[in-house]
Structure 1
Amino acid sequence: MARIGRRGFGALALAGAASGLAAPRVARGQATTIKFGFTAALTGPFNEFGEGIRRGAEIAVEEANKAGGVNGRRVELAEVLDDQLVPDRAVQNMRRILDNREIVGLMAPSGSGPTLAIVDMVQADGRPIINPQAQTPTIVYPNGPDRPPRPNVFSVAISNTVESEKLAAALAGFRNIGILHESTGYGVTGAQLVRAEIQAKRRDARITVESYNQRAQDMTAQLVRVQRAGAEALLVIGLGADFAVIRRTMSRLNMNPALFGTAGAVTVPYIEGAGDLVVGTRAASHASLGRRPMAASAQRFVDLYRAKYGTDRWYGPDPANPLISLAATVGSGYDCINLLIDAIRRAGSTEPAAIIGALEATRDFPGVTSAAISFTPQEHTSLKVGDLGMYEMVKRDGRVVLELRD
C-alpha cells in the first residue's frame, strides 16, 4: 500500500491521488454508488455531537463527488438515522443499517453508550467502522490496550487513556482534587484512568470521586461532598448540558476550585447553559484548531464549513477563531468519511477485507482531529497525547472563547 503524505484535501479528492491507481471501471452488477451509513444523536439534548458528525460527513461526501467520485463511482450517505444518544435506539438503527448490504462503510454513533451497544454486532458483521467521538477504550480494545484491537473497528476520537494523561499532568499540580463524572462507560472509565494517572504522578494526592446520571437536574449532594473534602481543583467528566447544571450549582454553593472539563464537557451547551460562569474553565481538547497557523488540512476544513454554514452554533461567532469543539463534532465526522473514501480509493475495492487492509496501511493522512492520522494492524486509534492541547475559557470582545495554553 502507498504511504499517505501530508497533502491538502483537494489533492486527496482526486481519483487515485493517494496511490496512483487508475480508476477501474464499474463491474457489471456492482452498485454505481459507494454507500455509507451511521446512527447518531441528530436530535435531543446532546444533538451537538450527532448533528455535528452528520454535517462533517456530508461535507466530505460533497467534496469527493465534486472531484469526480471514487474510482469512477459517486459517494452517498445511504442511511443516516437518529438515536438521540439512547443505546437501545442505536441498536435498532444499526440493525437496519446492517441489513442494507450495499452499505460498505460505517461510522460509529456519537457517544460511548450507543457505541458500546452496537460494536459487538458490527464486529461480527465485519464491515469497517470508524469511531468519531466515543472515548471508552474497550470500543477498540475490548481485552485491554496490550491486546489486539477489534479487526474492523478504528477510531479518530480522543480516547480516555490519552485524555486522562493530558489532564493528569495539569491536575497533579493540586494535592486535593475532586472528580465528578457521569455514570456511563465514558464517565466511569475516564474517572478511573485519570485518578490512576494523578496518583502515579503525585502519591500524596487526595482524590474525591462522585458520579451523576446524564440529564440530572440536581447535583447539589455530590458537589457538597466534594466541597467538604476541601477540593482545590474539580474535574468534570461529562457532556456540556450537564456541565452547565454543575457550574450553576457551584455558583450557588459559592464553590471556587480550579475547574477542569473533558473535551465532551466544554461544548456549546456548556456555554449556552452557564454563560459567563464558564470563564476560567480549563480543558483538554484537540489542538488542531487552536494552533496558529493551523495545519493546512484543518484550515481547509474550517474554510469549507464556514462557506457552507457560516458562523453558526457549531462554528461559533468569531470567523477567525472557530470553537475548538468544531473539531470534536463536525471535524471528526469529516475525518471518518474521508478516511473510508481514501481507503476504498487505494484498495480499488469495496470488499470489507480490502478496505480494512487499506485503513491499516494509512500513514500521515492530513485530517482535522490530527494533521497526521495513521493506523497499523496493531494500532487502530489515531490520536496521541501530542494531538491534544490544554485550553482555558476566556472572555474576549464580549465572547467566550477557548485559548490554547499548552
Structure 2
Amino acid sequence: MAAGLAVLAAPGVLRAQGGTIKLGFTAALTGPFNEFGEGIRRGAEIAVEECNKAGGIRGRMAELAEVLDDQLVPDRAVQNLRRILDNKEIVGLMCPSGSGPTLAIADMAQADGRPFINPQAQTPAIVYPNGVDKPPRPNLFSISIGNLAESEKLGLALAGFSRIGVVHESTGYGVTGADLVRKAILARKPGARVTLESYNQRAQDMTAQLVRVQRAGAEAMLVIGLGADFAVIRRNMSRLNMNLALFGAAGAVTVPYIEGAGDLVAGTRAVNHAAFGRRPMHAEAQKFVDLYRAKHGTDRWYGPDAANPLVSLAGTVGSGYDCINLLLDAIRRSGGTSPAEMIAALDQTKDFAGATIPAVSFTPQNHVALKVEDLGTYEMLKRGDRVVLELRD
C-alpha cells in the first residue's frame, strides 16, 4: 500500500493514545440491495484484519466499532448515523451504500467534521453540493464510480448509435446519471435521438417504459439502476422480443442481475472498474482478490471462476477495503486521529495504491479519486454454466 505525498508527523509515530482505532458506517446489510452494503462490510473487515495482523498502527489495533444496517433506506441511514456519531471514540467513517442514503446524511456528516470516505454513491452533489466548480465538502472524500466519469465512458460507448433509449431509476443517482449521459452522447453526436424513461426502484414491470423506447426506434438501450431492477427490465425485454444493443451502468450489472436474468444477461455491455478486468491485475488488486478468496472462497460476490472474479467485486467489497485503508493510511501518516489531522493527510494523498483504483490522489480542491481512465467497458458472456465479463476497452 503506497504512502501519501508527505509525512505529516514523524514516520510511524502515533501520539500516545489508548484503546483501539474505532471506525464505523451504516450500509444496506440486509434487504433487496444487500449485495452493496454486505459487500463493503466484507471489504472493511479484510482491511482491518490486515492492519491488525501487521501490528496495527504504532501498536494500536483497528476496530469496526459501529456497523449498522439501513437497507438502503435514507431515513434509516439518518437514524443510524446519529447513533454512530454519538460515539465520540469513532475517528473515521464510510458513507452508506447508495446515493439516496448518502445524500440524506451528507449535511449531517459535514457538520460533524469527522472524515468520511464514499465507497459507492455516484451523485456529484454528495461531494460537491454547490457544483463541481465549487469547493468540495471539506471532510467528505470519494473513491466511487461517480456519475461524471461514468457518463463520459458511457457516452464513448454509445456514440456509435443514432437512436438510444436510457431507462433509469427515479432516484438522484438515476436522474443525474441519465441527464449526464444524454449530454455526453449529444456532445459527441449532436444529431442523436435520446429517449429518457424513468421507473421506481423495485417496480415489478417496466413494459410501458420499454414500449416507448421501442416505438422511438432505439438501436441501443442503457439501464441506469440496480441489478435486481435490471433483471426485471431484461425479462420484460425478452417478452417484448426487443433485440437491441444493451448497456448497463456500474450499479446495474451486479450479482442480482445475473441471478435474476439468467442466460438473458449474455451480450449485455457495462461500464465498471477496469482494475479487475486487466491482465495482469495491478499488484494491490491482485493482493485484495487473493485475500478475499482465501477468506470467503468463490461465493456470490467473487463469482464461480477462481481465476476471473466478477468485476462487481471491485465496486462493492473492493471499495469498502480501499475506504478503510485510506482512513488508516491517513492516521499512519498524520500521527494522530483528530479530524483536522486526518483530513489534512487525506488532502495530501498522492498515488495511494488502492485495489479498485491503482493511484488514488486527493487535494483540498479535488475529493474525487476515480477518473475516466480507471473505467472499462465489459461484455457479459456465457461460458458453459458460468457468466463472465470480458474487458473490451
Give the corresponding residue for 1:304: 291
User: Aligned partners of 1:201 and 1:83: how far apart in 2?
Assistant: 40
Letter in 2 for 1:292: R
Q: What's the counterpart of residue 47 of structure 2?
A: 60
What is the SS of the residue equivalent to 1:4?
coil
Q: Which residue of 2 aligns with 1:130?
A: 117
Q: Give distance in 1, aligned partners of 2:364 and 2:7.
A: 23
* CA–CA distance in structure 2, aligned partners of residues 186 and 195 of structure 1: 14
One-letter amino acid of the structure 1 residue matched with residue 213 of structure 2: V
Q: Does 1:96 align with 2:86?
A: no
Q: In the alignment, is the contact (CA less than 8 A) between 2:3 and 2:329 conserved in 1?
A: no
Per-residue Cα deviation, 1:64-90 (whole angstroms, up to 9, x for no partner): 001111122110000000000000000
* Residue 21 of structure 1: aligned partner: 11
- Structure 1: how far apart are the matches of 2:215 and 2:313? 36
- Residue of structure 1 aligned with 2:140, choices 148, 153, 159: 153
Q: Deviations over 1:9-50 (max 9, x none)?
A: xxxxxxx999861434524xxx41110010000000000000
Question: SS where residue 402 of structure 1 aligns?
Answer: strand
Match of 1:109 in 2: 96
How far apart in 2 are the matches of 1:395 and 1:313? 16
Distance 2:342 2:37 in 1: 24
Q: Deviation of residue 369 (structure 1)?
A: 1.5
Q: TM-score if structure 1 supplies the norm length?
A: 0.95
Shift of 1:3: 5.9
SS of the residue 1:367 aligns to: coil
385, 389, 393: which is aligned to 1:402? Answer: 389
Cα contact 2:12–2:57 (8 A) shared by 1: no
Quick check: 1:40–1:82 contact (8 Å CA) kept in 2? yes
2:3/2:333 contact within 8 Å kept? no
Q: Per-residue deviation at 1:61?
A: 0.2
Q: Residue type of the partner of 1:108? A: C
Indicate the residue corresponding to 1:13 in structure 2.
Answer: none
% identical aligned pairs: 77
Q: Which runs of 5+ in 2 are unaligned?
A: none
Match of 1:211, SS?
Answer: strand
Answer whether contact 1:18 1:342 (CA < 8 A) is retained: no
How is 1:324-339 mapped onto 2 (pairs within 5 angstroms)?
A: 324-339=311-326
Matched-pair contact (CA < 8 Å) for 1:3–1:361? no
Pairing of 1:185-334 with structure 2 (within 5 A): 185-334=172-321
Give the RMSD, CA atoms, in angstroms. 1.5
In the alignment, the residues of structure 2 paired with residue 19 and residue 335 of structure 1 have an alpha-carbon distance, to the nearest angstrom, of 23
Return structure 1 stretches of 4+ with deviation > 4 angstroms.
16-20
2:159 pairs with one of 151, 161, 172: 172
Q: Distance in 2 between matches of 1:218 and 1:381?
A: 35
Is the alpha carbon distance of 1:284 and 1:18 closer, same or farther for their aligned partners in structure 2, counting shifts above 3 Å? Answer: farther
Residue 120 of structure 2 aligns to a residue whose secondary structure is: coil
Give the letter aligned to residue 112 of structure 2: D
